[in-house]
Structure 1
Amino acid sequence: MQLTRTAICKSLLILLIFGSAVSVFAQSKSAKKPNVIIIMADDLDSRQLSCYGGQNLQTRNIDALATEGLKFNQIYTSEAMCVPTRASLFTGLYPVRHGSFQNHKPVYDNLKSVGHYLADQGYRVGLTGKDHVTKPKTVFPFEIVKGFEPNCVAPTDDYELDDVKKYITRDSQPYCLFVMSINPHAPWTVGDTTEFDADKLILPKNWVDTKITRRQFVKYLAEVRRLDNQVGDITRLLKETGQDKNTIVVFLGEQGAQFPGAKWNLWDVGQKSSMLVKWSGSVKPGTQTDALVQYEDITPTLIDIAGGKPIAGLDGKTFLPVLLGKSTKAREYAYGIHNNIPEGNPYPIRSIRDTRYKLILNLTPDKDYYNRFMMNPEQKDRNSVWFSWANQATSDPNAKRITERFVKRPAIEFYDTQADPWEFNNLATNPAYQDRIKQYQQKLDDWMKQQGDTGAALDIIYAKKKE
């Protein structure tokens, strides 16, 4: 039976449509979701990274991520200490809402985290290295991967990449692996100190220049070098295994160093961090952004990248449009919280900032600030930097100004961080800024109420939870 021209045309059209549908289906099936490697430092003064303007060493491997990706200039931790920062990173919640609003205070056990959210999108989620925030397992269902040192106060940071290699090449399932280095966390016992000349180091401007400070800074920078080497080892492993072709690499600096005025405070040297994102084909190389982001925003962004819908109730918000170059802004304000127990006496602090101005409220300004890891008179050998500052303050006006500023703080601090990046010039009593200060105070108060943050009443001793 001879087919008519019309019948032939119809048959060809059906085959064309069917073939196109099969092609689209095959393409969608073969379009693999990107892997993610997140490398996180421990107590890093991000200003020491040469890609962020550091002059004491060239962090070539970390700098390479900046050259090949996007550098964030305005990323902040909400609480400048390890456990709260990591809990915020994993949960997308601010400290009061995830429960770890004091250092080493556990999160609430009814929460979900990035381990759940990415698993829902078909990802394996693993972690190697520092594991402070991996309990309870019901909240943090990470696959723990051997390789990096899990204890941040270990005298060594020995690591191997065999198990990391097995994890990233195991199968075709997309993965998100957190590589948590313990560098450069105290006690600063690893690394080659011979690279640095103590007398030639450029010290942060909020430090007192003493021989002990320079000696300890050498040890610290040696661990920054170790961190940079680890970043290089991971990025080379990705290239050797071909994983670099479909893997997003994120570098995070965590909070500031364990020197007076940084970690355990809400000045920028403690709260300000670093983030570099390399994503071949999606993130434009060699770019930077002043978009304001916080650690709470990272998990919502990972969910967005994985193709998931926004999770209701999270404090963070996705900054994927910033990564893709479709927006220059992410959030309007970044918030900060500090509760001093168990690291010292009660000394609650709160903060709010945009990309320029910053308000800090010291909620118990009648008391002196004290931190047992830096200012303990019973352990002057372990607190040598601070006591070298205090000794010099008896004869050096600049040292006296810095040490008094650290111990005795006003109720309100307000800074123009563009004009005054070290936050020395408190504008709280300047008439020109009173309206802005009131505006920021109101927004900070609204945020605290929304979070259920009772302020000074939160900084108390809590009963330890039974395992």
Structure 2
Amino acid sequence: MKMRWAGYWLCVVLGWTCVLGVPAKTDRPNMVIVMGDDVSWTAFGCTETPYAAHTPHIDTLASQGMRFSNFFCAVATCTPVRTELYTGLLPPHSGVYANGCPLKPGTEHMVQYLKALGYRVGLTGKHHFDRIDDFERIEGFEVDCVKPDPNWNMEGVTSFVKDAQRKGQNFCLVIASIHPHAVLVDGDPSRYPPEEIVLPPHFVDTPATRTMLSKQMAEITELDRQVGATMALLEEEGLAGDTLMLFLSEQGNAMARGKWSIHDWGNRAVCIARWPGHIEAGSCTDAIAQYCDIVPTFIDVAGGAPLDHLDGKSLLKVLEGKTKTHRKQAYLSYGKAQHYQRGVVDQRYKLIWTMDPSIPYASSAVVTPKNNQKWYAKAWREWEAQAAVNEQAKAQVERCLTYEEFMLFDVQADPFELTNLADNPENAGLVKRMHEQLLAQMKQLGDDVSQPIVKKKRRKGRGH
């Protein structure tokens, strides 16, 4: 009799599951995102650049899954990146063009979408998103990205995972690290002697620059430890095979031509996805994708229907090796009104359009007061000093500050975008075609650059 009643209630539960359109738990993976903070794509060993820190766990994750070589954020700044990730929307539709911009009222996001499909959605660590209170908040990782004595532990994450397992619930977990965002106090910089560091080619070689990169690389290795701890937890709980795990690097380093820019060192990001049995281990795709594609992917693997109002689209077929293409171009954005830039990038070329080139570019590194102790500000002041006495340094600084109306780069041959090809007559047709494609995307998105950015009053102690 007990067996009959058990069978009856199982049928009832499965029946309601079918009615609600929510698949049974065993049909779907859990989802885990570990995300860095202010770290350029060149910083990881799996990208095979000479600028990488020691990242054995992230490299192992890449060897077990798929790495995207053409993954982008629309805006290379913290809040817009996280808004694009959580909402599946580009800035014209979310309203978030920069830090401090409010999310458009009524905008739904990852929590609503996945909760409706039966998932618990938790977050630990950095916020920088208007609707952060919708997440199930998890203790253990530091919230304040400029805290001078950060620490982290896996206790809250472990409790969340174990509780979801005990209750038979699917979960989506976001571990939002603050590493290696300045103030650069964590990790062991002695592992990275400043004199041995290889500088990116657009950098001016100064003592503060090398010291900054040494400290930043130490924090990147600390970020790698967090990825390793997450991987270990999934193994210990027997969940590694049933979890779609992503590592995302956020946007670029806070120096010139990285964060707050529309250049490759700022907009290009690392995305690694592991899902045993579904994603080929050690694979790499050059399919073009953006942060806004993550939420549609999660909805897809959770068994939900596509949402037409999202700017992103599911990457599931790419992950499963059923297609090698995704987007024709990624859409890039910096600012609104007066000094603004828009761009598009495909697998070979990037076009940057600057509305008013007479207005000097100004990242935080450039405009931060001279007495500011942030490492990127110290380094920039040394760049300026070198530019006053050294012609090569002067050219490097001017390259970071000045723009032509159209700039065309071959991002395969010139990933640091040192040579503008737009003025070459043989490229006139390509510039015209890419500009028309950009204008068409702007029109489709309703990207009205004539309107100034409206920001909320900034709270203290939350960084950039």
TM-score by length of 2: 0.90
Aligned to 2:176: 180
Letter in 2 for 1:412: F
Does the Cα contact within 8 Å between 1:290 and 1:355 map onto a contact in 2? yes
> How far does residue 211 in structure 1 lie from its aligned partner after superposition?
1.0
- Structure 1 CA distance for aligned equivalents of residues 362 and 288 of structure 2: 30
- Structure 1 CA distance for aligned equivalents of residues 372 and 408 of structure 2: 33
Q: Please, which of 185, 200, 203 is the counterpart of residue 204 of structure 1?
A: 200
Aligned to 2:361: 369
CA 1:441–1:30: 2 relative to 1, 3 Å: closer
> How far does residue 136 in structure 1 lie from its aligned partner after superposition?
6.3
- Structure 2 CA distance for aligned equivalents of residues 317 and 30 of structure 1: 23
Q: Please, which of 148, 157, 161 is the counterpart of residue 150 of structure 2?
A: 157
Aligned to 1:49: 44
> How far does residue 29 in structure 1 lie from its aligned partner after superposition?
4.8
Aligned to 1:440: 434
Does the Cα contact within 8 Å between 1:32 and 1:174 map onto a contact in 2? no
Q: Please, which of 26, 32, 37 is the counterpart of residue 27 of structure 2?
A: 32
Aligned to 1:3: none
Q: Please, which of 378, 385, 403 is the counterpart of residue 379 of structure 2?
A: 385
Does the Cα contact within 8 Å between 2:68 and 2:271 map onto a contact in 1? yes
Is residue 411 from structure 1 mapped to residue 405 from structure 2 by the alignment? yes
CA 1:439–1:378: 2 relative to 1, 3 Å: same
Letter in 2 for 1:363: M
Deviations 1:112-134 (A, max 9, x none): 00111111111111111101115
State the aligned residue count: 436
| 3-state SS in 2 of match to 1:88 | helix
- Structure 1 CA distance for aligned equivalents of residues 183 and 360 of structure 2: 26
| 3-state SS in 1 of match to 2:269 | coil
Q: Which residues of 2 match residues 206-245 of structure 1 at below 5 A?
A: 206-245=202-241
> How far does residue 298 in structure 1 lie from its aligned partner after superposition?
0.7
- Structure 2 CA distance for aligned equivalents of residues 96 and 87 of structure 1: 12
- Structure 2 CA distance for aligned equivalents of residues 163 and 381 of structure 1: 33
Is residue 452 from structure 1 mapped to residue 446 from structure 2 by the alignment? yes
Letter in 2 for 1:241: E
5+ unaligned residues in a row in structure 2: which ranges? 1-10, 18-22, 460-464
Deviates more, 1:81-90 or 1:445-454: 445-454
Letter in 1 for 2:32: I
- Structure 2 CA distance for aligned equivalents of residues 129 and 463 of structure 1: 22
| 3-state SS in 2 of match to 1:291 | strand
- Structure 1 CA distance for aligned equivalents of residues 336 and 226 of structure 2: 32
Does the Cα contact within 8 Å between 2:261 and 2:363 map onto a contact in 1? no
> How far does residue 452 in structure 1 lie from its aligned partner after superposition?
1.8
CA 1:119–1:222: 2 relative to 1, 3 Å: same
Q: Which residues of 2 match residues 160-171 of structure 1 at below 5 A?
A: 160-170=153-163, 171=167
Q: Please, which of 326, 330, 355 is the counterpart of residue 322 of structure 2?
A: 326
Is residue 427 from structure 1 mapped to residue 432 from structure 2 by the alignment? no
Does the Cα contact within 8 Å between 2:102 and 2:130 map onto a contact in 1? no
Q: Which residues of 2 match residues 63-462 of structure 1 at below 5 A?
A: 63-135=59-131, 137=133, 141-170=134-163, 171-339=167-335, 347-379=339-371, 381-382=373-374, 383-455=377-449, 457-460=450-453, 462=455
- Structure 1 CA distance for aligned equivalents of residues 125 and 345 of structure 2: 32
- Structure 1 CA distance for aligned equivalents of residues 370 and 150 of structure 2: 28
- Structure 2 CA distance for aligned equivalents of residues 189 and 347 of structure 1: 34
- Structure 1 CA distance for aligned equivalents of residues 230 and 455 of structure 2: 40
Does the Cα contact within 8 Å between 1:34 and 1:174 map onto a contact in 2? yes
- Structure 2 CA distance for aligned equivalents of residues 30 and 263 of structure 1: 39
5+ unaligned residues in a row in structure 1: which ranges? 1-20
TM-score by length of 1: 0.89
| 3-state SS in 2 of match to 1:274 | strand
- Structure 1 CA distance for aligned equivalents of residues 58 and 316 of structure 2: 21
- Structure 1 CA distance for aligned equivalents of residues 24 and 89 of structure 2: 33
- Structure 1 CA distance for aligned equivalents of residues 27 and 322 of structure 2: 23
- Structure 1 CA distance for aligned equivalents of residues 249 and 120 of structure 2: 24
- Structure 2 CA distance for aligned equivalents of residues 313 and 50 of structure 1: 37
> How far does residue 458 in structure 1 lie from its aligned partner after superposition?
3.2
Higher relative contact order (CA 8 A, sep 6+): 2
Does the Cα contact within 8 Å between 1:375 and 1:387 map onto a contact in 2? no
CA 1:128–1:377: 2 relative to 1, 3 Å: closer
